[in-house]
Structure 1
Amino acid sequence: MTTSARKSASGDDYGERPYRPLAEVLPESFFEAVNDGIEAAAIGHMDWISASGGADAYITSHACNDLQLLLHQTVGGDGRSAARTARAMYEHAVGIRYLSHSPDAPRRYLDHAVVYAYRLAGVDTSSRLDKRYRTRDQKLRAKLKRQVQTAYDDALNQWTTDFRRRWSGKDLRDMAKTVGMEDDYEAYAVLSGMTHGTAGGLKGTTQRISGSVVHRLGPDLEILPTAFLLGLQWWRSIAEMKPEGNARTQILSTTDDLLGRYTTLYDQARRLDKQTWPTTALDRMRPMVFVWPSGKVKWYVWNPVEDTFRLALEPAQIPVELAQQIQDSKDQAAREVHSDQPIALEIKDIRLELDPSNTSWVPAMPWQKDTRQLRDESRGRNK
């Protein structure tokens, strides 16, 4: 398994760096507690759904499935997915409470199933299927749309067109306020960072190191303990609403056991996360320009890690200072009549576009020997 730690031409880091799976550092007792939690959720799924029925059963089914998913994602070290699952658990906890706060809520929830079906019928994925399946898939979606069309129209007439957007007629924050869970909404919003692709949602997989932003490809171990804790707390709040019985007792007991192991997860995830990050930024791919005695100028991007070059396009606008450096280099090269070697200039504060007509990265040529000193200096800075 790997995470990122390499420079891109734009200056941000990306790439690969080995890391240890979280499962290797968690104690065996943690896995035993996870297994107990998964089994308890299965019991709850069976008992609670058969006992409740209706809208309550649907939300309960969502919650039981997501609890098992959350625990698998936790031991797998998958913080980003765990955050999304914990976020969904908050919606389940709010939704199941809201059912009892409005006489129309259970029916609205169940009626909203036709909105989902109608939308699903309109998503055409048949173009990627082999011909033998394509027509069949198109017919199935057309059939589904015909089957739900009347119910869909009736639902929108009954509950207004806004019903397409949300089954309750309110946004989640208003629902949370109604059921007394508004205080947890900010935590929900934090977990939403990954789902909505915000810059903050990458906090656990980006760091500024040696003046550069390092983008890590791999597990978000920073958000993982938070997602684990919040998801379990919201899961427990759902269990507390259920009637007394074996399922409720087992789920509360196993959930409390897991919550008691939060510090263990927090400690191991943070230790492993710290080991995974590089201590210094790696060499960045650098834009360069070479000036020959003949006056010829060529632009390149240099990868100092591999010591390879790729041809780049001349910038549309060349800064005045750089233009003067190029002219000075031309004058210097012209004076060195006994040399056919170009002068290498490393460019700063400018981005080059790679030449799309030349996609090859080639090893440094002898006439690019000036770059080797730059490479050695850059490696020295990162020791």
Structure 2
Amino acid sequence: MELALLRALLPLAEERAALNVALHTFTRSYWAQAENKACSVIFNHALNDFTLLLAHLWGGDGRSAIRAARSLYEHLVNYCFVSNDPAAADRYLGHQAVTHQILAKSRKWLGMLDGTEKKKEEHHLNKLGRDSAKLYQDMLAAHSSKFVGDWARLDLYSRARLFDLHGDYDTYRLFSQVTHGSTGGVLGTVRPTGGEVVHRMGPSLELAIMAFPEGVSYFMTLASRIEALNGVNAVELVGALDALLSKWPDYRRACKWVDSQLWPENPPASAMAIMGIFPGGRVRWYLHESALKLIIAAIPPDNSEFLESKAKEQLEASMARGLKWDEEGRPFTVAVPVPVAVRPGAPWLPDNGILMPRARGTGGTGSTVFGTA
């Protein structure tokens, strides 16, 4: 999928190359002129998240791209906020003590380390806790216990309104559905198909399409605000970002084309329970993935005795009509529309070791199919 998308995105190569140069020039200029420490930290966040946004976009990883774009909106608002308010900048920097105090108590996995490694990490965490304790207590004394969860004192929407950035707040809320696991956050990976709901594992190209213009525009706005607030020349970078943004229709078409190749026209075959009856009457249950041609041992369902007796009756009738056991030792198999759980520790095996060729040729679900009533 990624190779197909990269080929489809070749028309954007010139804009991407120009952006890399402009971004490098801008960041060098920024660090040379940076004075506000809080702004510098936020710019570090924004620069890394923008770089990740581009990587996710070129790979079609829409879920990660949405999260990066969402973060860029927060960085944009916060940068403006701490630039405009020295007290807010102090609170922002002071909140690092909260992070350090939480880190100092994070020892859940230390037991997995060997003696020397564990002691070193415990020493590091103990020192981190001690070194940040005074600042932590000072910040709580100055700002109350609410400071632990809220350095800004204003919610994001209120901060955004101060700088006329609240128009994008609904987009931020939309993108938050992915971060928070809301029902609507599965856009691009769940789709009604042929009367059924298909759940797809992999990239959400629909979300990538949404993340592209928003994330790029947030970073472009940040660059413009930095130029206005800090005097860092952003003309080249803004121009490169604007040129990239103009290619969004091309990106959208490329993603739409790749997505159309990924989604099935009909619901894919579900995994099917298979009952195998061996010579002598021994019965084994399996779960069969026909699309992958794999089969695995399964735990018999609750009503297995009834189902097995029905299948054996059917087998006896078939034997009376001339059915023979498979010469290679494979069982007589029956596809049963009941849910079964995979047997713990069982390996996935090629289905031709269990299913007879005629069975695989008729859909790969078994030699016979019957209901459970």
Give TM class, smaller chain.
Answer: 0.7 to 0.9
SS at match of 2:187: helix
Aligned to 2:142: 158
Aligned to 1:96: 79
SS at match of 2:3: coil
Kindly state the Cα deviation for residue 143 of structure 1 after the two structures are TM-superposed: 0.9
In structure 1, which of residues 353, 366, 370 is the aligned counterpart of residue 341 of structure 2? 353
Are 1:41 and 1:67, in contact at CA under 8 Å, matched by a contact in 2? no
Counterpart of 1:33, as a letter, is: E
Aligned to 1:375: 363
Counterpart of 2:236, as a letter, is: Q
SS at match of 2:226: coil
Counterpart of 1:203, as a letter, is: L
Are 2:194 and 2:266, in contact at CA under 8 Å, matched by a contact in 1? yes
Aligned to 1:3: none
Task: Please list every run of 5 or more consecutive structure 2 residues that lacks an aligned counterpart in the other structure.
Answer: 326-330, 367-373
Kindly state the Cα deviation for residue 70 of structure 1 after the two structures are TM-superposed: 2.4
In structure 2, which of residues 119, 133, 145 is the aligned counterpart of residue 149 of structure 1? 133
Aligned to 2:164: 180
TM-score, normalised to structure 1, is 0.77
Aligned to 1:106: 89
Aligned to 1:276: 262
Greater shift, 121-130 or 253-262, is seen at 121-130
Counterpart of 2:240, as a letter, is: T
In structure 2, which of residues 54, 59, 81 is the aligned counterpart of residue 76 of structure 1? 59
Kindly state the Cα deviation for residue 280 of structure 1 after the two structures are TM-superposed: 3.5
Distance in 2, matches of 1:257 and 1:363, equals 52
The question of 1:38 aligning with 2:15 is answered no
TM-score, normalised to structure 2, is 0.79
SS at match of 2:67: helix
In structure 2, which of residues 26, 29, 42 is the aligned counterpart of residue 47 of structure 1? 29
> Alpha carbon RMSD of aligned pairs, Å?
3.5
Q: Deviation digits for residues 77-125 of structure 1, max 9, x if unmatched?
A: 3323222211111001111232366563122111112112222222235
The one of the two structures with greater contact order (alpha-carbon pairs below 8 A, sep at least 6) is 1
Counterpart of 2:18, as a letter, is: D
Are 1:19 and 1:276, in contact at CA under 8 Å, matched by a contact in 2? no
Identity of paired residues, percent?
A: 27
Distance in 2, matches of 1:334 and 1:202, equals 49
Kindly state the Cα deviation for residue 327 of structure 1 after the two structures are TM-superposed: 5.1
In structure 2, which of residues 221, 235, 238 is the aligned counterpart of residue 252 of structure 1? 238
Aligned residues: 355
Counterpart of 2:223, as a letter, is: A
Kindly state the Cα deviation for residue 301 of structure 1 after the two structures are TM-superposed: 1.9
Task: Please list every run of 5 or more consecutive structure 1 residues that lacks an aligned counterpart in the other structure.
Answer: 1-17, 379-383
